[in-house]
Structure 1
Amino acid sequence: MTDNLTSLATPPAPAAPYRWRWPALMVILTGSVMELLDATVTSIAGPTIRADLGGGTSLIQWLGVAYTLAMTAGLLVGGRLGDIVGRKRMFLIGASGFVAGSLLCAVAGGPETVIAARVLQGLFGAAMIPQGFGMMKEMFPPRELQAAFGAMGPIMGLSAVGGPTLAGWLVDADFFGTGWRMIFLINLPIGLIAILAAIKFLPATRPTRGVRLDLPGAVLASTGSLLLVFPLVQGREYGWPAWTFAMMAGSAAVFVLFGRYEVHRSRAGGDPLILASLFRKRAFLGGMATGTIYFAAFSGFGLVFNLYLQLGLGFSPLRAAVAGIPLSIGMIVGMGVVQAVMRHGRKVLHAGAVTMTAGVLILLPLLGSEAGFWQLAPALLVTGMGAGLIMGPYFDIVLAGVDPHETGSASGTLTALQQVGGALGTAVLGTVFFSTLDTDPTAAARNTFWIVAGMIALTFLAGFLLPKQAHRDAELPH
């Protein structure tokens, strides 16, 4: 009797951590690095790709926009598909499709085929990336989970610095006469190794019962994004016909329909992409506004800066990539500083907006034929630090204003919004830059960067809608 009581009073021993969790983490990080590199390489290689394949200047924009829009559409359902069919299976599907998309990019013979291949990359990348976060939470005990997530920061930061630099080096090196195609061919051996390692080391996860896919919601959100971005990219080349404005108006109508559909699905007991209750939270709506403006400004700034150096000043891809390194280093430094000042919450984001605006304004008079690495580096470093101070606390501050059961939906939505903002920035600021590039490249860059400064000022104002303090236990996007 005593033995029975003792056994009932003793809690069951916790399950042993997954044996291969650290090798599995390296597989997940490899997939994330591969995706992040391909998200940035075309900002450097775009002019070279266009010179080889032909097409209008909008091709340079579409190389990034097609990828990010596809990534957005995929992220809206990628994590849910992992719950439905199993995370390991979805990771393997995503990695295999990403490698196939990379091969199609490398052998593309025209603008249309390379854009289609970029869409494929984005879709399969979105199927691969969300699975890693879910598997990490399952593999690591609480005491190790923070260390596992902490390992991602430096690696992602190095990838942000290394992506454009690697692209510039590969294009200039012209290995085996492949030119720009090597920036995609390099994914083949890396991806195949990651796939084989994933088969060996990733844990087999069972599908989650009762989870349903909100495919109509994903279609509506993707359609609204495309209706907005397509005319912004192509409108200038077509002379801004009436249908471009009709598409943008149609985009607003589709997004309204999307919101109503999500509310209806939530009330009907379904699994909406976005919980309807989030639309009643000032913090979430303010976070959407702040994030969209910031990510648009930062992505557009990076694209236009690289294009200006190559198309305006005649820099080689490698020289342009090296010139942009201080921007990435500054961002890493800014995000590192955030860890020490997070207790100040929203003030950190506001300080970042002021710092980034100052960096952009310092850069303006430095543009011109005499611009070089050392002349531009201080302004880019300040700009990057400001960007890091905004990005570092952004998710935690926004998530402080939502309820615990809403955190997963909110974080996933904000991650997808990051892609939407990047696509909008590439479309809008790229169009502004190309509109006067042929007549005066330096004036084109300055006009664009004035708009960037204005957008960051709007980010500062939108930041007042956010909670004053950050939520330190917020979930990572998944």
Structure 2
Amino acid sequence: MSTTETPRAAALPEGPPVSARRAWAVVGIILVGEIMDLLDALVTTVAGPTIMRDMGGSQEFIQWLAAGYTIAMAVGLLIGGRLGDKYGRKNLFLIGLTGFTLTSLVSALATSPETLITARVLQGLLGALMVPQALGIIRSVFPPDKVGLAFGVTGPVMALSGVAGPILAGWLVDADYFGWGWRMIFAVNIPVGVSALVAGLVLLPRSQRQRDLKIDLVGAVMAAAGMGAVIFSLVRGRELGWPWWVGALLLAGVVALAGFVRYQFHRAGRGLPALVVPTLFRKKAFVSGLFVGMLFFSVMMGGALLFSLFFQLGLGMSPLMAGLATIAQAVGMLFGFAFSQALGMARRTMYIGFAVSAAGLLGALGTIAVQSDPVNAWWLSPALAVIGIGSGLAIAPFFDITLSGVDEAETGSASGTLTSAQQVGNALGASVLGTVFFSVLNAHREDGAPAFTTATSTALLVALALVAGAALCTRGLPERAVRHTEV
């Protein structure tokens, strides 16, 4: 099989071809699960200050609400993709959806910071069983000439949900339904998850199982240790005063991740199953896509946290008003998706998106610089709209181009690895930009309100550097997704 081939029905040998109507219904179910994941990754960026006031805890508690979830998700995704290959993508998607819904209930009922963070970690692990099955299921129910269209719909909807997350969180916290306050951001998953579970049992197609596939647990531990060490160092380093051992732990995490990649090649060379199919690391487009996703999604998650902290802690806005203040970004992203269709689902569209996103970040910096304190949050709307347009342009072609050269046998591993890189980016964004923000804020605490603008401006400069890095990595992607019919 050519590495550029995108087979249609290899994952559905047990049943008849899927009709177009059912295929789009499957996309709808997949999107529900993906949106639940994205919303839960982002809602705490707005609800975090309220949760901290209710439960207590330090500034790091806010960071861990997001980072704990995304670390667990990133670690679990590597195994989740392979478990989908072994036991069937439908089965793993439904198991993950069930667990995600139950841990949402536990999060809603949590009474202490420790319980909530633990529930969030479990939620991330169970979500990791669900999320990596999505891309493989979608590829299995569409013919090759329609896969790009499906990804062109799912990618933007997922990204737009990420922007809508803070607005939804602010509305639910302020509305205080049933007197639950912030707990509703988790409780809302329960009826949605149950509905998606029922629909999935009926509509999701069966998929091929590799029952003799062995899971690389040693590799999973190495990857978990590496990612955990890196994120822990970034989140806790500032609070601990950056002692030498934190730097050593950060270096050890990077070494562990490099060792994980080498170990995967070693296992494959001995004929043993690997957690990540090593042939993926030989595909320039896929490797480049990993870095692009890691860097750019770190800007999206970190930026959401950054503006939420600035609006609520710096400007004293309510959670709902803080969420609504970002609505221009959501509208801009819709325009970005529309523009991407006109420009074409190609690499050049991603370049334009990165350039526009950078212009929006510079606009936000300029707006903050020219305003006198306190800054009017609504004056940032034009800059946020430009950021949204750039994000829509960059994300729309991303998944299709990155996965176009992946074989069917590599789909589970590729989906899990790519989504894991995205989650690592989310965790890094919350950790890095959050750490920069609080470090500068605490260093200028005596300045009063101007300290928040200084902290926000500094973090925005870091976000600009991350966007530039994503643009550089995009050079390794093909100009557009190549289908086997084009070869």
Q: The TM-score by the shorter chain falls in which range? A: 0.7 to 0.9
Mean Cα deviation higher: 45-54 or 400-409: 400-409
CA distance, structure 2, for counterparts of residue 76 and residue 159 of structure 1? 23
Q: Match of 1:217?
A: 219
The one-letter code matched in structure 2 to 1:232 is L
Q: Which of 278-287 and 35-44 deviates more? A: 278-287
Q: Determine whether 1:454 maps to 2:465.
A: yes
Q: 2:423 aligns with which of 419, 425, 444?
A: 419
Match of 1:15 in 2: 16
Query: 2:154 and 2:252 mapped to 1: Cα distance?
Result: 39
Q: Equivalent residues in 2 for 1:306-321 (5 A)?
A: 306-321=308-323
- How big is each residue's C-alpha offset from its partner over 1:158-200, in whole Å with a ceiling of 9 and x where there is no partner? 5234322111011001112211011111112222222233334
Whole-Å Cα distance in 2 between the matches of residues 128 and 415 of structure 1?
11
User: In 2, Cα distance between the equivalents of 1:111 and 1:346?
Assistant: 43
In 2, Cα distance between equivalents of 1:287 and 1:122: 23
Aligned pair 1:388/2:395, yes or no?
A: no
Report deviation, 1:428.
Answer: 1.1
How far apart, CA to CA, are the structure 1 residues paired with 2:80 and 2:421? Answer: 15
Paired letter, 1:349: M
Aligned to 1:41, the other structure's residue is in SS state helix
Aligned to 1:11: none
> Which amino acid is 2:481 matched to?
H
Amino acid at match of 1:469: E
Change (3 A) 1:178 1:292: same
Query: Which structure ranks higher in relative contact order (CA pairs < 8 Å, sequence separation ≥ 6)?
Result: 2
| Change in 2 beyond 3 A, CA 1:334/1:243 | same
TM-score by length of 2: 0.85
Deviations along 1:360-396, whole A, 9 cap, x unmatched?
1111132364544541111111112222222233344
Q: 1:149 to 1:398 in 2, by over 3 A?
A: closer
Secondary structure at 1:240's aligned position in 2? coil
What is the identity, as a one-letter code, of the residue corresponding to 1:457?
Answer: A
Q: Secondary structure at the match of 1:437?
A: helix
- After superposition, the Cα gap between the structure-2 partners of 1:27 and 1:401, relative to the gap in structure 1 and judged at 3 Å, is closer
1:161 and 1:329 in contact (8 A); partners too: no
Residue 75 of structure 1 pairs with residue 77 of structure 2:
yes
Structure-1 separation of matches of 2:389 and 2:145 = 31
Q: How does 1:56-67 map to 2 (within 5 A)?
A: 56-67=58-69
Kept in 1: contact 2:225–2:256 (CA 8 A) = yes
Alpha-carbon RMSD across the aligned residues, in angstroms, is 2.8
Structure 1 residue 337, shift from structure 2 partner: 1.8
Using the size of structure 1 for normalisation, the TM-score is 0.87
AA at the equivalent of 1:67: Y
Q: CA deviation at 1:204?
A: 4.4
State the alpha-carbon separation in 2 of the partners of residues 284 and 24 from structure 1. 25
Gaps of 5+ in 2: 1-14, 446-450
Distance 1:396 1:30 in 2: 20
Q: How far 1:398 moved relative to its partner?
A: 4.3
CA contact (8 A) 2:156 2:337 kept: no
How far 1:88 sits from its partner (Å)?
3.0
Partner of 2:6: none
Asked if the contact 1:330–1:383 (Cα under 8 Å) also holds between the matched residues in 2, the reply is: yes
1:129 positional shift: 2.4
Measured in 2, the distance between the counterparts of 1:205 and 1:348 equals 34
Shift of 1:123: 1.1
Checking the alignment, whether the CA contact within 8 Å between 2:104 and 2:186 is kept in structure 1 is yes
Query: How many aligned positions are there?
Result: 459
Deviation, 1:263, is 0.5
Q: Is the 8 A contact 1:102 1:187 kept in 2?
A: yes
Note if 1:470 corresponds to 2:471. no
Closer, same or farther: CA 330–102 of 1 in aligned 2, 3 Å: same
Q: Evaluate the alpha carbon distance shift between residue 167 and residue 258 of structure 1 in structure 2; reply closer, same or farther with a 3 A threshold.
A: same
Shift of 1:336: 2.9
Superposed CA offset, 1:48-100 (max 9, x none):
11111111101111111111111112221212212322333322221121111
1:179 counterpart residue number: 181
Deviates more, 1:371-380 or 1:33-42: 371-380
Q: CA deviation at 1:118?
A: 0.7
Matched, 1:156 2:155: no
Q: Is the 8 A contact 2:69 2:121 kept in 1?
A: yes
Could you tell me whether the CA contact under 8 Å between 2:46 and 2:322 is conserved in 1? yes
Contact 1:84–1:208, Cα closer than 8 Å, also in 2: yes
Partner of 2:337: 335
| Identity score, percent | 47
Q: Which protein has the larger Cα radius of gyration, Structure 1 or Structure 2?
A: 1
Contact in 2 for aligned 1:398/1:470 (Cα 8 Å): no
Which amino acid in structure 2 is aligned with residue 342 of structure 1? G
8 Å contact from structure 1 (residues 401, 467) kept in 2: no
Given that 1:400 and 1:467 are in contact with CA atoms closer than 8 Å, whether structure 2 keeps it comes out as no
